[in-house]
Amino acid sequence: MSGFSGPDVDIVTGLPVEMVKGTKGEEEAAAAKVRLKDKAGFLDCIGSDEGRKLVEIVHRKFVSRAATIIEGDPECKAYLGILKDFGIKKSLAKSAANQLSAMAMQEDKGK
């Protein structure tokens, strides 16, 4: 046990060691190891100039698509109209899409 209180945590899965020892835990540990290996391969790719360009292209397409969906949703349109009435003039849909993308990336870093 480390100097911290609480259960011991499996470094790969982030789950308590007791959970990983069971059948379900073993399956989750195996899946987490596969995800880590896959991520390691992607990290090599996105470290290159071409990889960074690819990430930029995918992000731009995501923002564009999310903005299209937001602008086409009646409830979102109503919210955008209210915000524009408040004097907010920038591209709110693209701003929201960028925020969604940033939040998704932050959540992914936490895994």
Interval 6-26: pLDDT, tens = 677 777 677 777 776 666 667
Statement: residue 1 has pLDDT above 70: no
Note whether 51 and 45 are within 8 A (CB).
yes
CA distance 60 to 28: 33
Q: How far is the CA of 4 from the CAs of 7, 9, 86, in angstroms?
A: 9, 11, 50
Would you put residue 32 in left (φ > 0), alpha (ψ -120 to 50) or beta?
Answer: alpha
Residue 2 φ/ψ, nearest 5 degrees: -80, -175
* Token pair of 13 as six digits: 């899965």
* pTM, 2 dp: 0.44
pLDDT: which is higher, 70 or 19: 70
- Would you list the domain boundaries of the chain? 1-46, 49-111
Query: Mean pLDDT over all residues of the chain?
Result: 75
Chain segment 31-58, per-residue pLDDT in tens: 877 877 777 676 677 778 888 888 888 8
